[in-house]
Amino acid sequence: MAVRMESVKQLGKKIVKHFKEVRGELKKVVWLTREQLITSTIAVFAVCLFFGIIIWIVDLGFSLIMEYTFK
């Protein structure tokens, strides 16, 4: 029983150590400013919309080709 308690304590210490290290690493992170975050988000949405439209047009083209081919 004592061996089991020691292993539980060691596991608890490892978990606490892990989260302390995570916290330390998060303090090192250089976070984006609000303006940078908004600009990046808009850019991502714009690029996704652009490629979505391109894929939609290509899909529409293939659909029309298939429709005329197998009609």
Tell me, yes or no, whether 47 and 25 share the same domain: no
Are residues 68 and 60 in contact, defined by beta-carbon separation less than 8 angstroms? no
Per-residue pLDDT band at 2 (split at 50, 70, 90): low
Alpha helices in 1-71 (DSSP H): 2-28, 34-69
Tell me, yes or no, whether 69 and 36 share the same domain: yes
Residues 48-71 have pLDDT tens digits of: 999 999 999 999 999 999 999 987
Tell me, yes or no, whether 19 and 46 share the same domain: no
Q: Closest Cα partner for 43 from 54, 33, 35, 31?
A: 35
CA angle 39, 42, 46 (to 5 degrees): 140
Tokens of 7: 């292993």
Tell me, yes or no, whether 44 and 69 share the same domain: yes
Residues 8-50 have pLDDT tens digits of: 888 889 999 999 999 999 999 999 999 999 999 999 999 999 9
What is the distance between the alpha carbons of residues 61 and 18, in angstroms, rounded to a whole number?
A: 53
Beta strand ranges found along the chain (DSSP E): none
Tell me, yes or no, whether 25 and 42 share the same domain: no
Work out how many domains the chain is built from and give that number: 2
Structural domain boundaries enclosing 58: 31-71
Tell me, yes or no, whether 51 and 71 share the same domain: yes
